[in-house]
Structure 1
Amino acid sequence: MKDPVFVIHGVANRNRKEFTSVVSALAAAAGVDMVPVHWGDLGARDQFIDAALPVYRPDEADVLRDGPDPEALVVAPLAAALFDHPLDEGRQLSYVDAAVRERLDAQGEDESESGGLRDHGGRDHLDPDQILEYVREAWADTEWLCRTDDAQLLRETGGALARSILDEADPELDDAYYGLRGGGADGDGRLRSLVRRRLNDLDRVAGAAVQAVAARLNHAMRSRFGPGTTRFLGDVLVYQRHQDAVHARVRQVIDEVDPRLGRSPDRPVRIAAHSLGGVIAVDMATAAVPLWTESLVTFGSQAAFFHVCDPRGGQLAPYAGSVPVRLPVSLNRWTNLWEPLDVLAFAASRVFRLHDGTAPVDLPVHHQASTGMWTHSAYWDLPYVASVIGDVMGQTQPRQNLQ
């Protein structure tokens, strides 16, 4: 009879009863006897995390408000942060120019169809080249439009600008600047001023829209994904400081089954581990005094990422970037599962090599739409994960490979 598979959880598992239930379901699905290793009570204190998160209030999201404090206007830094890549101004203005000409042409067709009653022979004096010249003069002073490469937004800007100019130049409107159509120095000055004012207005509207969307997206990301990410970071910090206590808990659970397990190559353990649990398992299997491990299955784990960033020590050499790190014989076989949308899952095969020269097996887990966007906790319920664990743990590995 094979020894059981010990299952080590990852971050944010505070409820021992719930974890035990999850492991029971996984064991049934995988067809393997499993023992849960719960260490969540040693993790970060997460009940007060919300106190450290900024609170989003829609009425305070407008950073375009006027005020005596110039530092309150953070438009330029925010715009630069959101659109930090250089853009081709000529290409931007080509979209604006095309929309202006299209709108002026459409207006000309409308006036022709009306029998010339509104034309007054004046439309020809709204020169699109002159309008573009004034747009180019004012373009560098915009905060948002000059940083966007969105063709639709630029076309809409040109169309709105043209409509505004046409409205101002309409002789049928009592408050219109009819002089815009008449040309001359006065008309040119009015046109230049109008283009600058309207472009500034459109720029502020675009900025307000971007900031509103960004603020709501920020809030949604913090609300939906923030707690999981924050708890991940909290437990990582605690584990880095209190590895010995966590390792002792794992060892205690194994000893309760059989104190000989994992002490030598004659009685290696089998482990399945999620997230930070995979890091714990690799750390213990590669320690100076290792937990001898026959088969390891990790899912949504970060062992390779952690070792690349900060070498783990024990029997592991630092990763130098060209040659994979050789794992000791105390970690015999390793299968690593990762889900494409899980930002906390990393591959192992490029960073590590097993003692026999083969790479750990990296297996992608097909994304299921029902899991949503936060997939880091989805592995437990996925049939494929249970199937892989069952297949790996059901294999018989010759003991001499562990010598």
Structure 2
Amino acid sequence: MVNVVFIHGTGVRQKSYDQSWRKVERGLARVRPDAQLLPCFWGEAHGARLALDGASYPVRDQDRGLTGGTDDDGLGPWPALDVEPLAEIRALAATSGEDESGYVPGRRDPWDGLADRVRALSEADLPRDPSELPTGGGDTTLWLTEELGAYVADAARTVADEISHELSGGDAPVNGESLAARAVVALAIHLADAAEDADEPLAVDGADRDLLVEVLTDRLGGKDRGAIGGGALWAANGLFGATPRRRDRTTDKIVPAGGDILRYQARGEGLRGRIAEVVELTRERDPGRPVVLLAHSLGGIACVDLLATRAVPGVDLLVTVGSQASFLYEIDALAGLRRGADLPGHFPRWVNLYDQRDLLGFVGERVFPGRVKDIRVNLRQPFPRSHTGYFAHAPLYDKLASELP
């Protein structure tokens, strides 16, 4: 018989651990009925939690911004436009009805007219001198003009084509000029980001961005000075629902996952000690029976750190699943082993399972030649399910069965 200690990864609490436990228990029972599965749940004792009930959060105000009181974050549709610059146009097209004015000989569709004006925009339409700036503009607005100028014409053509394709024949535009101007500025920012290929997004102040929208709205003949209102307001409101409206709720959701990692990097001795304790208790209960550590994600990092810093008698095999241990070693962030150092002689046999679609799963054979065996699995899932779905993957247990002592 063999004892398999199951160690979970980051962000896992009791309910999730129980679900994974049942999957591992069934999977091992099918391929190795002689395996005894043992728990090593650490999420509650050694995971991250908000001990002061979120006292570190900034106080949330009630600033309703410039959007007519519809968005208490004051961002309007920008969270959606920052992801997809054409989102507001497509949202409007999704519910826009047919123009009820009917066909009039010689009458040009107003959306097509707007598209033509948008298509004519170029770098020359951006302000180049402080005297051309609306009230509130300054040096940083002109800096943004310089950074975006080369991309305005391409962005304008794309936005114009989208307006013609999606909105032509629909309800007559209300504040369509500002909607188009927002799309042009948002897309120009995206194009600048792509062209620079920098390590972080282009630094853009929201006030400067809004001033450029105001300038382009004016160039297009709009009178709303870039504000959201009228017929376009509902479209923006429809986009707000997908954005985080409350920072505390959003942070609460990411504290277990990201917080566990940060806490481990600073206070990892508690988790490593818990793993060693479970191994010792297992050996005392079943002396002479081999012990396998089956560890997912952060649990695998903790096992590598533990086994690299001291001998843990009785551990015959380490199995890491979706692990970042080799990556942390490569960037010299592994607590138990500095980059350039070899795994110690007492380190047990190590098998590492990974899925190529798992952005948090890394290989180890090229990092620790001769000391790690990589085994690839294919969950046929995109990330992040390719990271969380390992223990629901039946072939994983078939591959694991032949590796167990």
- TM-score, normalised relative to structure 2: 0.55
Is the aligned partner of 1:351 residue 2:367?
A: yes
The 2-side partners of 1:163 and 1:313 are apart by: 63
Higher RCO (CA 8 Å, separation ≥ 6 residues): 2
After TM superposition, give the deviation of residue 216 of structure 1 in Å: 0.9
SS in 1 for 2:404: helix
Aligned residue in 2 for 1:391: 402
Code of the residue aligned with 2:2 in structure 1: it is D
Is the aligned partner of 1:196 residue 2:221?
A: yes
Is the aligned partner of 1:15 residue 2:37?
A: no
Q: Would the aligned equivalents of 2:46 and 2:270 in 1 still touch at CA under 8 Å?
A: no
After TM superposition, give the deviation of residue 287 of structure 1 in Å: 1.1
Query: In the TM superposition, what are the counterparts of 1:34-73 in structure 2 within 5 Å?
Result: 34-46=37-49, 51=54, 63-65=65-67
Query: In the TM superposition, what are the counterparts of 1:105-254 in structure 2 within 5 Å?
Result: 135-136=121-122, 139-140=125-126, 146=152, 149=155, 153-157=159-163, 195-197=220-222, 213=239, 216-218=242-244, 229-254=254-279
Code of the residue aligned with 1:254 in structure 2: it is V
Compute the RMSD of aligned alpha carbons. Answer: 5.7
After TM superposition, give the deviation of residue 239 of structure 1 in Å: 2.6
Instruction: Go from structure 1 to structure 2 and tell me whether the alpha carbon gap of 1:52 and 1:335 turns closer, same or farther (over 3 Å shift).
Output: farther
After TM superposition, give the deviation of residue 382 of structure 1 in Å: 1.8
SS in 2 for 1:33: strand
After TM superposition, give the deviation of residue 386 of structure 1 in Å: 2.0
The 1-side partners of 2:63 and 2:158 are apart by: 25
Code of the residue aligned with 2:5 in structure 1: it is F
Q: Would the aligned equivalents of 1:293 and 1:330 in 2 still touch at CA under 8 Å?
A: no
1:185-233 deviations in Å (ceiling 9; x for gaps): xxxxxxx978432796699998996796476155699989x76643122
Code of the residue aligned with 2:4 in structure 1: it is V
The 2-side partners of 1:137 and 1:238 are apart by: 48
- Find the partner of 1:367 among 364, 380, 383: 380
Q: Would the aligned equivalents of 2:283 and 2:289 in 1 still touch at CA under 8 Å?
A: no
Say which is worse superposed, 233-242 or 74-83, in terms of deviation.
74-83
After TM superposition, give the deviation of residue 148 of structure 1 in Å: 7.6
1:84-138 deviations in Å (ceiling 9; x for gaps): 9xxxxxxxxxxxxxxxxxxxxxxxxx88xx6xxx59xx9xxxx99x967964488
The 1-side partners of 2:125 and 2:167 are apart by: 13
The 2-side partners of 1:289 and 1:360 are apart by: 20
The 2-side partners of 1:78 and 1:11 are apart by: 28
Say which is worse superposed, 326-335 or 149-158, in terms of deviation.
149-158
The 2-side partners of 1:366 and 1:50 are apart by: 38
Give structure 2 stretches of 5+ with no counterpart. 86-102, 128-143, 174-216
After TM superposition, give the deviation of residue 393 of structure 1 in Å: 1.0
The 2-side partners of 1:147 and 1:42 are apart by: 56
Is the aligned partner of 1:277 residue 2:299?
A: yes
After TM superposition, give the deviation of residue 278 of structure 1 in Å: 0.5
- Find the partner of 1:330 among 343, 346, 355: 346
1:156-200 deviations in Å (ceiling 9; x for gaps): 446899999x99xxxxxxxxxxxxxxxxxxxxxxxx978432796
Code of the residue aligned with 2:292 in structure 1: it is R
After TM superposition, give the deviation of residue 6 of structure 1 in Å: 2.1
Say which is worse superposed, 346-355 or 72-81, in terms of deviation.
72-81
Rg (Cα) greater in structure:
1
Q: Would the aligned equivalents of 1:336 and 1:347 in 2 still touch at CA under 8 Å?
A: yes
The 2-side partners of 1:158 and 1:8 are apart by: 56
1:225-263 deviations in Å (ceiling 9; x for gaps): x7664312222233334433322322222222325999x
SS in 1 for 2:49: coil
Q: Would the aligned equivalents of 2:379 and 2:390 in 1 still touch at CA under 8 Å?
A: no
The 2-side partners of 1:206 and 1:139 are apart by: 24
Give structure 1 stretches of 5+ with no counterpart. 85-109, 168-191, 320-324, 395-403
1:4-29 deviations in Å (ceiling 9; x for gaps): 22222223444398365454334314
- TM-score, normalised relative to structure 1: 0.55
